[in-house]
A and B are shown apart, each in its own frame.
Chain A
Amino acid sequence: MLHVEGLKKSYKTGDSELPILKGISLLVEKGEFVAIMGPSGSGKSTFMNMLGCLDRPDTGTYMLDGIEVSSLKDRQLAHVRNQKIGFVFQSFNLLARSTSLHNVELPMMYAKISKAERRNRAIEALKRVGLAERMLHKPTQLSGGQKQRVAIARALVNRPAILLADEPTGNLDSRSGIEIMAMFQELHAQGVTIILVTHELDIAQHAERIVTFKDGVIIRDERVAERLFAAPSGEVIVT
């Protein structure tokens, strides 16, 4: 599903090159729920940008759903982002002036899906995250947890190959955070491939597998021994 091999990336700061990723290799199978952890500066955000096709590696290969994306042009990358990747951001990144419905419709507009189908699918996606009755609300009229659920609906609406979540609970209170994790786990149960970046261990433990970054390399990659399960009500169930 997702196969990264020997990924390197460095940034120029003045005259010197600052290496951020020093050769990352990672294989994520379809339907996996992977958490990426690491302190700030470990390169996990840069890695996320690579996975999200927002940036290109200097060297290395990146296969996503059968496509070698590291050599694609801007235009093709935009298409991959649109079709294969669903983003969930820490700061929600909803269009402030638009309704939930319009926000969820947006990726389908760039996919040139007809208006009627777009509407149906957007409503469907909002139902899936339990916000059907709030589809005409604007982001300012929604709570943080609700905003993030709109963002999840938006991320899923084009049926992407992977869901990339970058600190999705970072701006939420713990209860809303757990609700979001419950949603991820539910989606995972439905077969969605999820990659979650976080620096909080108790969030990461909701995933099946934790990959830990440090100084631009992966230092640990292991299955979660004590997995946490979040109830939709916002309570954590330890197994």
Chain B
Amino acid sequence: MNFLESFQTAVEGIWANKMRSSLTMLGIIIGITSVIAVTTLGEGGQRAINEEMEKFGRNNFNIFINWDTKEEHSNDDLTVEDAEVLTKISPAIEYIVPYNPSTVEMKGPKKEERVNLIATTADYFPMLKTTTKLSKGRFFNHTDDKEQRAVVVLEEALGAKLFGQINPIGQRVRMGNNSLVVIGTYTEEKFKFDMGAESYGAFVPIRYSQSLQEEPYVQMLMGTAVDQASIEPAMQQAKQYLSRKHQKKDHYMARSMQESVNEFNQVTGTLTIIFSVIAGISLVVGGVGVMNIMLVSVTERTREIGIRKALGARRSDILIQFLIESVIVCLIGGLIGVLFGLGIASLIAYFANLPPMLSWNSVIIAFAFSSAIGIFFGLYPANKAAKLDPIEALRYE
């Protein structure tokens, strides 16, 4: 009997027991659905977040103080000048800027607001070009910074909160006892997966900010390499320069966005595997259901097997007939499961604000898996059928 005919025979067998076959399929459907939903969401979510992270600085890196070192710490371990010199001398670094974030209260004529204030240099704005756009006025420049001018650039929405209908450019905001002139407003694309509360941002020149501090310091440097291949050299050059300049060997650490992304991927990858395995257990349960039904089917069709053997069917003919039957049940179940799984994944993606996704990998794996389950759990019943003694099988009532 050739494969096509075995296939036909198997389909007839399944069709003859529609109800039972579909219930058996249900186990496989549920298993494949959960595996597909989990892997699709895992992979798609990961991809979406990676794209987002890349947009926010694929070549970025940070330089910060190693607080665990035994070397002595001082406030001038990192300085604004360090950043300015590094930008000039390092070929791998496009820009590197000092970066001091803090939370402050800002007061305008309308309202007082909590603000995430970043003190940095003018070089920071070109680093933000993919996500941040100037809407009014201007960013501060190097002169504003050198002369420690009390100027601030506000997020547009913050300006609206503090000043209402009034154009904030040229107006003053109060920050503690100090008064700053608003020179520009900007809009920024927020990081999509930032679950934090709504908060507004603003930028001030770092030298002005330091002039208010009793002991001026720089918390960290934020840099961007000229290209992806230069990230490592850029970090090395920055660390070497700082170590030499400050005569501190073990004092500086560097970390790239790429490393963070990789770490994130590792974590989500592990999570996806764990969830897939859990989902896979339901697939195995479905497989056991297939085996159970196939055993019933073999017993029920003992006489048919006897007839086929008397007419010249070899063991392999019978084995293949039943194996194809269980594989077909699993494959149909797999197909429906893939559709359900993708449906559930896109539904969740829709509500979780993720882009629509389709992971061909998991679809292929699902089909490979369901055929494997069909073969694995079909083999024992099929072999049982193939080994039946024709005389006893013919006598079976």
Chain A residues near B (Cβ < 8 Å): 49, 52, 54-55, 74-75, 78-79, 81-83, 87, 89, 93-95, 97-98, 106-107, 109-112, 154, 158
Q: Inside 8 A of B188's CB, which chain A residues have their CB?
A: none
CB <8 Å contact, B391 and A54: yes
CB <8 Å contact, B310 and A97: no
CB <8 Å contact, A87 and B314: no
| A74 interface neighbour in B303, B306, B307, B314, Cβ under 8 Å | B314
- How near does chain B come to A102, taking the closest CB pair, in angstroms? 9
Q: In the complex, what distance in Å separates the CA atom of A97 from the CA atom of B304? A: 10
Q: B312 an interface residue at 8 Å Cβ cutoff?
A: yes
Number of residues from B at the complex interface, CB < 8 A = 21
Q: B58 an interface residue at 8 Å Cβ cutoff?
A: no
Given that A110-B1, A112-B1 are contacting pairs, would A78 and B313 also be in contact in the complex, using a CB cutoff of 8 Å?
A: yes
Q: B394 an interface residue at 8 Å Cβ cutoff?
A: yes
Interface SS of chain B? helix
- Between A and B, how many residue pairs show CB distances below 8 Å? 58
Q: In the complex, what distance in Å separates the CA atom of A74 from the CA atom of B314? A: 8
Q: B207 an interface residue at 8 Å Cβ cutoff?
A: no
CB <8 Å contact, B304 and A107: no
Q: In the complex, what distance in Å separates the CA atom of A89 from the CA atom of B307? A: 10
| A107 interface neighbour in B306, B312, B391, Cβ under 8 Å | B312
CB <8 Å contact, A78 and B312: yes
Q: Inside 8 A of B2's CB, which chain A residues have their CB?
A: 112
| A111 interface neighbour in B303, B312, B394, Cβ under 8 Å | B312
Q: Identify the closest chain A residue to B316 (Cβ).
A: A75
Given that A74-B315, A75-B315 are contacting pairs, would A52 and B1 also be in contact in the complex, using a CB cutoff of 8 Å?
A: no
Q: In the complex, what distance in Å separates the CA atom of A81 from the CA atom of B315? A: 13
CB <8 Å contact, A54 and B390: yes
Q: In the complex, what distance in Å separates the CA atom of A111 from the CA atom of B314? A: 11
Q: In the complex, what distance in Å separates the CA atom of A231 from the CA atom of B144? A: 123
17 A–B contacts, CB within 8 A, in A order: A54-B390, A78-B309, A79-B312, A81-B309, A81-B310, A87-B311, A89-B394, A93-B303, A95-B304, A95-B307, A97-B16, A106-B311, A107-B311, A109-B5, A110-B312, A110-B317, A154-B311
Q: B51 an interface residue at 8 Å Cβ cutoff?
A: no
Q: Inside 8 A of A52's CB, which chain B residues have their CB?
A: 310
Q: Which parts of B332-358 form the interface with A (CB within 8 Å)?
A: none
Q: In the complex, what distance in Å separates the CA atom of A98 from the CA atom of B307? A: 13
Q: B161 an interface residue at 8 Å Cβ cutoff?
A: no
Q: Inside 8 A of A79's CB, which chain B residues have their CB?
A: 312, 314
CB <8 Å contact, A78 and B314: yes
Q: B308 an interface residue at 8 Å Cβ cutoff?
A: yes
Known: A78-B313, A93-B394, A95-B307. 13 other contacts (CB 8 A): A49-B391, A75-B314, A79-B312, A79-B314, A82-B312, A93-B307, A93-B310, A95-B304, A107-B311, A110-B1, A110-B311, A110-B312, A158-B312
Q: In the complex, what distance in Å separates the CA atom of A89 from the CA atom of B312? A: 15
Chain B residues near A (Cβ < 8 Å): 1-2, 5, 12, 16, 303-304, 306-315, 317, 390-391, 394
Q: Identify the closest chain B residue to A87 (Cβ).
A: B310
CB <8 Å contact, A109 and B307: no
Most chain A CB within 10 A, of B306, B307, B308, B312, is at B312
**9 smallest beta-carbon distances between A and B, as pairs:** A82-B312, A110-B312, A78-B314, A107-B311, A93-B307, A109-B1, A54-B390, A81-B312, A54-B391
Q: Inside 8 A of B307's CB, which chain A residues have their CB?
A: 93-95
Q: In the complex, what distance in Å separates the CA atom of A154 from the CA atom of B306? A: 15
Q: Inside 8 A of B1's CB, which chain A residues have their CB?
A: 109-110, 112
Q: In the complex, what distance in Å separates the CA atom of A111 from the CA atom of B1? A: 7
- How near does chain B come to A85, taking the closest CB pair, in angstroms? 8
Q: Identify the closest chain B residue to A81 (Cβ).
A: B312
- How near does chain A come to B12, taking the closest CB pair, in angstroms? 7
Q: In the complex, what distance in Å separates the CA atom of A3 from the CA atom of B314? A: 25
Most chain B CB within 10 A, of A93, A109, A111, is at A109
- How near does chain B come to A115, taking the closest CB pair, in angstroms? 8
Q: Identify the closest chain A residue to B304 (Cβ).
A: A95
Q: Identify the closest chain B residue to A151 (Cβ).
A: B307
Q: Identify the closest chain B residue to A76 (Cβ).
A: B314
Q: In the complex, what distance in Å separates the CA atom of A81 from the CA atom of B308? A: 11
Q: Inside 8 A of A87's CB, which chain B residues have their CB?
A: 310-311
Q: In the complex, what distance in Å separates the CA atom of A110 from the CA atom of B311? A: 8
Most chain A CB within 10 A, of B310, B313, B317, B394, is at B310
CB <8 Å contact, B16 and A110: no
Q: In the complex, what distance in Å separates the CA atom of A30 from the CA atom of B5? A: 35
Q: Inside 8 A of A97's CB, which chain B residues have their CB?
A: 12, 16
Q: Inside 8 A of A98's CB, which chain B residues have their CB?
A: 12
